[in-house]
A and B are shown apart, each in its own frame.
Chain A
Amino acid sequence: MCLGIPGRIIEISGSVAVIDVAGARKTVSMALLDGVSMGDYVIVHAGFAIEKIDTQKAEETLRLINEVIVKR
């Protein structure tokens, strides 16, 4: 139930946004998030965006994984 899916904000107006989730459009509430803008990726849970995805950290995670594997 704590399932959250990543999606990209493609429209935003006030506290409601349209999110592209794997090609499907979902209208979600932005009431739980400050400081998001068009093009941002967010995690959606129960019709609300609950957190922004830090795209730089997302890439760092993959880089770190590859580093650990290469160490073998």
Chain B
Amino acid sequence: MKYLDEYRAREQAQGILGRIREISKRPVNIMEICGTHTHAISRYGIRQALPPNIRLISGPGCPVCVTSAGDINRIIAFSRARPDVIIATFGDMLRVPGSNSSLQEERAAGGDIRVVYSPLNALDFARTNPEKEVVIYAVGFETTAPTVAATILQAHTEAIKNLSVLSLHKLTPPAMKALLDSGGAVIDGFICPGHVTAIIGAKAYGFLADDYHAACVVAGFEPLDAIFGIYMLISQLEAGRAEIEIQYDRVVTWDGNRRAQAIIAEVYEPCDSTWRGVGMIPGSGLAIRQAYAQYDALRRFEIPAGDETEPAGCRCGEVLKGMIAPPECPLFGRACNTERPVGPCMVSSEGTCAAYYKYRSITV
């Protein structure tokens, strides 16, 4: 397929890896923020192909994984209390265990929980079920937030009254700042998320280079993109530079998608948000503005906060902060695997533990 296959050429991948081995001298820690990068890196064996002085650390870039235990328990309790409500969720959310159930188990027990590919599917549910309320369980970063915001605007245009959104959207730059401020994992550079940045623009990371002297490269998701992004980062770090560069410039610009930004700003305003493992990060969430209050599930229904207790023994929180790699968790691959996941990082197709587990035997 055009714009995919040409970025998967093995010979070129080996060529760039060779260049990386030539120029890389000092030990560096590079964090890939995005779960899609984590999976590409695992799937193509990139971590193992790099020289041992380059350590890739996975970050908090899987929206399902960073959704707090409380926010999982909260939707499960709501679905039990309101069997008359259709809950529209992305598929990855279904199997994430709460303290004593999951949306999948609630669905099996009779809850009307429906998987959507697009938030627009929820709009269809609302149109075809006018007697029912439809609530979108909206997780996702800046890439997904404008799709939900556009859905709210569409509902507004069509005067659809039985659709609302439980907004758990999260913003990437405040989380990167919180990670560096926490003094946990030492990070010399970031592989910045390609599609988040397509929306927000690469200039959003300026503070990371200016205030934290962290090198940043916005990379695409095919193997050549990721490997070349790492080459660009190593070039910066070996020269003592900390700059923002765009490897994925066929899609990403400095200013981002202004129309999508305007749609987000029309519907949402920043709010504090709780991330699994990290805790509350100021200004890292999106709440629905007063003008669109009728589409805000939190204003429309009583949805009490859920219990924040993590599953016993689960170390997803430390994995999400880059403090430990998945195999360092005693549950990894034993009590916790993709068939019977304990924590969200093993459930989600973008979770770090799932990536390590699924591709555990792959080498380039």
Cα–Cα distance between A68 and B229 once the two chains are bound (Å): 12
Beta-carbon contact of B150 and A48 below 8 Å: yes
Beta-carbon contact of A47 and B147 below 8 Å: yes
Report A-chain residues with C-beta under 8 Å of the C-beta of B344: none
Query: Would you list which residues of chain A between 10 and 54 have a CB under 8 Å from chain B?
Result: 21-22, 29, 31-34, 41, 43, 45-48, 50-51, 53-54
Report A-chain residues with C-beta under 8 Å of the C-beta of B29: none
CB distance from B254 to the nearest CB of A (A): 13
Cα–Cα distance between A54 and B195 once the two chains are bound (Å): 14
Counting chain A residues whose Cβ lies within 8 A of the other chain, the interface size class is 35 or more
B314 within 8 A of A: no
Beta-carbon contact of B251 and A43 below 8 Å: yes
Beta-carbon contact of A68 and B16 below 8 Å: yes
Knowing A2-B193, A46-B147, say if A65 contacts B250 (CB, 8 Å).
Answer: no
Residue of A nearest to B34 (CB): A2
- Can you give 6 A-B contacts (C-beta < 8 A)? A2-B196, A6-B3, A29-B118, A46-B140, A47-B147, A58-B250
Q: Which residues of B contact A (CB under 8 A)?
A: 1-4, 6-7, 12, 15-16, 18-19, 22, 34-36, 61-64, 90, 92, 117-121, 139-141, 143-144, 146-147, 150, 153-154, 193-196, 198-199, 221, 224-225, 228, 231, 247, 249-252, 257, 259-260, 263, 348, 350
Q: Which residues of A contact B (CB under 8 A)?
A: 1-4, 6, 8, 21-22, 29, 31-34, 41, 43, 45-48, 50-51, 53-55, 57-58, 60-62, 64-66, 68-69, 71-72
